[in-house]
């Protein structure tokens, strides 16, 4: 039988007595000024309001959706801030009731050990963003590390070049030319700790070049939005439809740079259409700006050959960001940034103290790619993920006939669109309490939208676990 939970928030808001102390103008009460990531700034503002007595013990804070809409941010920002304050003892919440202030200036919270709050044990992982960690090529990677340790010369162990070791940069340039259709050489390649690190470096350089407004996709990955904000530029949100980023809407913003997922947009799974790709490059030339291409999940396309990177269409206007976190493991902390040649001096100058990943790890990746092991791993992964995707789609069609899937042609997740009466937020909570990890599409939106959808990742789950996971999802649906 479906699990039934009291929806978070609306029941509280319907009682004027219950919320007599919550009818604040929240956008006025909360000062999100200062530096730092947006969810950290929100947590700091709420903490200050509680300490100053503006929010008294027992007061209810708004539901995450309502506060996100009033502040003009994503729900992820609000839920992260609330979770931080719950961990610190300023707020307390439970399923079926509002989150409330649990501290007053007269009764300071008892100091707590700094630790991550305990989470329910995860039985099945359908969260997006992870590869098959069971299939990490341990033996080949160990072979690459041993080879590097035995062959590295003494000057390889010196202070590393912030742009990365020349051996890996050369290897990556060759790999990206033959596999992604990129137009580059080693002089334009920078080794970084991943896409977020590469984006922060890029936005610092763009800011130094006078570009103060950057556009990002909505919906999109919150960490990329935070990375742009951290680097200094103002952020503008541009909607995505079934052809990818809406370039006409982009042209109506003051932005002169845009971060875009062309090969496989996260989280919608759309591929930027040929017309939009051409329009995007044309826009960059017209505004004397740049495209920052997040090559997310580009290696995993199942129904057609992989789409080449936009960077190859205009290497003087397009940055290309990539990582092995979705192909090997995020624990490696290895990625790359291909910069337009004219921006290389600004990129180095804007990031003078940036440290590249450990040199031995860089050389191990160069060996892993150079010996053909990376290509072999990707071929095996594509076969495995295609089979797993097909099993997931078949199981969903049988167990959840009211749902509709999209974004299935590539990547490591699908979107499950659900009827309007389904409470996806409550469903995610119910599933988590039963040991199933899911993600709500609303967590990646800035502007609210009426459609309800869940992100179902199939990278980090075994084939035999999929039927049980989908059955648990069916039981967790709230609505």
Closest CA to 51 of 20, 23, 78, 90: 90
Res. 260: pLDDT tops 50: yes
**More confident call, 349 vs 34:** 349
Interatomic CA distance for residues 9 and 317, integer angstroms: 46
Tokens describing residue 395: 């199981």
**118, 112, 114, 91: which is closest to 102 by C-alpha?**
91
* Burial of residue 303 (number of CB atoms within 10 Å: 0-12, 13-18, 19+): exposed
Please report which confidence band the pLDDT of residue 200 belongs to, taking 50, 70 and 90 as the band edges: very high
The string of pLDDT tens digits covering residues 81-121 is: 888 888 888 888 766 678 888 877 765 555 555 555 555 57
Domain with CATH 3.40.640.10 in the chain: 153-372
Residues 213, 234 contacting (CB under 8 angstroms) = yes
Average pLDDT over residues 17-24: 41
Which residue in the block uniquely carries the two structure tokens 């800035």?
Answer: 446
Contact 19, 12 (CB under 8 A): yes
Average pLDDT over residues 258-284: 94
More confident residue, 1 or 91: 91
Domain with CATH 1.10.10.10 in the chain: 10-101
Architecture of domain 124-134+376-476: Alpha-Beta Complex (3.90)
- Confidence at residue 424, expressed as pLDDT on a 0 to 100 scale: 94
First to last CA, the chain: 12
CATH architecture of the region 153-372: 3-Layer(aba) Sandwich (3.40)
| pTM of structure | 0.74
Between these two residues, 237 and 56, which has the higher pLDDT value?
A: 237
Quick check: 459 and 132 in contact, CB under 8 A? yes
Query: Which pLDDT tens digit goes with each residue over 155-183?
Result: 888 888 899 999 999 999 999 999 999 99
pLDDT score, position 96: 64
Delimit the CATH 3.90.1150.10 region(s) of the chain.
Answer: 124-134+376-476
Confidence at residue 378, expressed as pLDDT on a 0 to 100 scale: 95
Question: Is residue 367 packed enough to be buried (19+ CB in 10 Å), middle (13-18) or exposed (0-12)?
Answer: buried
Task: Work out the angle at residue 369's Cα, subtended by the Cα atoms of residues 365 and 370, and round it to the nearest 5 degrees.
Answer: 110
Q: Which residue has the higher pLDDT, 369 or 151?
A: 369
Q: What is the CATH number of domain 10-101?
A: 1.10.10.10
Query: Residue 409 has what pLDDT?
Result: 87
**pLDDT tier, 213 (very low <50, low <70, confident <90, very high otherwise):** very high
Q: Say if residue 219 is preceded by a cis peptide, omega within 30 of 0.
A: yes
The band of 28, judged by pLDDT with boundaries at 50, 70 and 90, is: low
The pLDDT tens digits for 407-437 are 998 889 999 999 999 999 999 999 999 999 9
Strand order of the β-sheet with 189-192 is 189-192, 335-338, 318-323, 290-294, 257-260, 213-218, 234-241, 244-245
pLDDT band of residue 45 (cuts 50, 70, 90) is: confident
């Amino acid at each position: 039988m479906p699990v039934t939970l009291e929806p978070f928030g609306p029941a509280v808001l319907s009682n004027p007595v219950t919320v007599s102390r919550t009818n604040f103008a929240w956008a006025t009460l909360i000062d999100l000024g200062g530096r730092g990531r947006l969810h950290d700034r929100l947590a700091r503002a709420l903490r200050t309001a509680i300490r100053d007595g503006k929010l008294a013990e027992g007061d209810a804070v708004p539901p995450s959706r309502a506060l996100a809409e009033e502040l003009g941010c994503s729900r992820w920002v609000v839920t992260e801030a609330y979770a931080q304050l719950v961990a610190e003892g300023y707020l307390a919440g439970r399923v079926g009731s509002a989150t409330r202030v649990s501290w007053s200036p007269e009764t300071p919270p008892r100091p707590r050990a700094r630790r991550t709050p305990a989470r329910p044990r995860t039985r099945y992982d359908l969260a997006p963003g992870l590869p098959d960690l069971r299939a990490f090529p341990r033996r080949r990677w160990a072979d690459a590390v041993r080879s590097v340790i035995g062959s590295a010369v003494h000057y390889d162990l010196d202070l590393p070049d912030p742009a990365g070791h020349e051996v890996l940069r050369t290897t990556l340039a060759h790999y990206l030319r033959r596999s992604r259709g990129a137009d580059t050489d080693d002089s334009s390649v920078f080794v970084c700790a991943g896409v977020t690190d590469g984006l922060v470096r890029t936005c610092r350089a763009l800011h130094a070049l006078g570009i103060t407004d950057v556009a990002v996709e909505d919906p999109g990955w919150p960490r990329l939005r935070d990375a742009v904000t951290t680097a200094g530029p103002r952020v503008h949100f541009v909607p995505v439809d079934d052809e990818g980023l809406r370039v006409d809407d982009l042209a109506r913003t003051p932005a002169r740079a845009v971060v875009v997922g062309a090969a496989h947009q996260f989280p919608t799974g759309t591929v930027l259409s040929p017309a939009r790709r051409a329009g995007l490059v044309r826009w960059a030339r017209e505004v004397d700006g740049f495209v920052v291409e997040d090559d997310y999940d580009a290696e995993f396309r199942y129904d057609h050959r992989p789409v080449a990177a936009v960077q190859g269409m205009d290497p003087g206007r397009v940055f290309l960001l990539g990582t092995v976190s979705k192909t090997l493991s995020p624990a490696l902390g290895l990625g790359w940034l291909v910069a337009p040649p004219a921006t290389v001096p600004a990129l180095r100058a804007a990031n003078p103290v940036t440290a590249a990943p450990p040199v031995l790890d860089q050389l191990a990746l160069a060996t892993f790619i150079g010996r053909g092991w990376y290509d072999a791993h990707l071929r095996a992964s594509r076969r495995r993920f295609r089979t797993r995707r097909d099993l997931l789609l078949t199981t969903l069609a049988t167990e959840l006939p009211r749902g509709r899937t999209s974004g299935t042609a590539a990547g490591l997740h699908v979107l499950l669109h659900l009827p309007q009466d389904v409470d996806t937020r409550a469903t995610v909570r119910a599933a988590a309490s039963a040991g199933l990890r899911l993600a709500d599409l609303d967590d990646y939106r800035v502007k609210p939208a009426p459609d309800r959808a869940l992100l179902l990742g199939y990278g980090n789950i075994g084939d035999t676990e999929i039927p049980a996971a989908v059955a648990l999802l069916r039981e967790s649906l709230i609505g």
